[in-house]
Amino acid sequence: MAGHLHTADFQPPRGLSNPHVQTLLPRLLPRQRLAYDWETLELPDGDFVELAWARPAPHDAQTPVFLLFHGLEGSIASPYARWLLGTAAKLGWRAVLMHFRGCGRRANRLPRAYHSGDTADAYWLIGQLAHRYPHALKVAAGVSLGGNMLLKLVAEQGGDGLDLAGAIVISAPLDLAASADALHRGFARLYERHLLHSLKARVRRRIAAQTLPLAINARALDGLDSLRAYDDAITGPLHGFADADDYYRRASAGPLLGEIELPTLILHAEDDPFMPSSLYDRLPPAGDAVRIELARHGGHVGFMEWREGRLRPWLARRLAQELEAWTTPAVPCQASTAQRIKSGS
């Protein structure tokens, strides 16, 4: 895979290179303001997802579209969502975030939730965007869980199975089993407990309302002390997997890296506490359409740099570079991958 690995140009400020500092900094800084409108998108199975569209909406139907998928228990309130959508909108793109089922303002209707390999809703949305804006260039990005989901979708659909010009994958746990194990060790358990608290609260309400087909009560739910235990008892059986191991094996996008045909940029920090530092050593070689940029530091969806006299998100700057490359007239939509994926180094 060495030929596809590149060094990201991210440099943390002096004294702020610790992975946990980088991971937590975005939540400690003032949240970026972003005006947006809500839309409820009905799904073929009778459920729905909620979309957040950056405002104001462009008038030209050919305006390029930026589609974002958030991470586990993320939403439009997540700092990275504000940065990335705001960056795309400032560049003149039509920017939208899809909330996974139940992650928006309302609980979803059906007795299910969402998971790392759940590609059907994203596929449906991309199809709807193709119908609404048939002549608009479209680029999708996924963060953490959303990144794994997006990469899996891209692999499943091949190079021309989606109305997307390219994909951007950020801090994605491409080996779900390894990520679950990493989150259950040391300081990373702080993140695990935070995620479990949010996941359990959502499920607890559904158990009380008797809207989930699970043989588990509130006391047993409270006893789940790891993400692996949660996936074994909740995520797996709720979505047709035998157990957590079956879920991790079938939903992880890492093994599909060699099958990616759509131009794809992957951004990852080697010190990401949500996964092992050797993540890409254990994955198969990436296809020619994939460019992987690794930063030595950055934490999990952190990547905070010192620029223009203040802390700023490198991810927003890197995204701006990528989107500007896609809309540069000298870069045709059918150009080679080397041209289509702008180097950040």
Q: In which residue are the tokens 């909330």 written?
A: 99
- Residues contacting residue 136 through CB under 8 Å, at least 6 positions apart: 61, 62, 63, 64, 65, 94, 129
197 is catalytic: no
60 is catalytic: no
300 is catalytic: yes
Token output for 87: 């960056």
Residue type, 38: W
DSSP string covering 209-242, please? TT-S--S--HHHHHT--SHHHHIIIIIHHHTT-S
Residue type, 277: S
CA distances from 231 to 92, 234, 242, 331, 334 (A): 40, 5, 10, 43, 41
Residue type, 9: D
The residue from 118, 271, 272, 297 that is catalytic is 272
Query: What is the phi/psi pair of residue 69, to 5°?
Result: -115, 125
CA distances from 63 to 89, 92, 118, 154, 191 (A): 11, 7, 28, 23, 38
The residue from 70, 99, 115, 300 that is catalytic is 300
- Residues contacting residue 2 through CB under 8 Å, at least 6 positions apart: none
Among 212, 202, 199, 195, which Cα is nearest to 106's? 202
The residue from 144, 171, 179, 252 that is catalytic is 144
Q: For residue 159, is it left (φ>0), alpha (ψ between -120 and 50) or beta?
A: alpha
Q: Which residues are catalytic?
A: 144, 272, 300
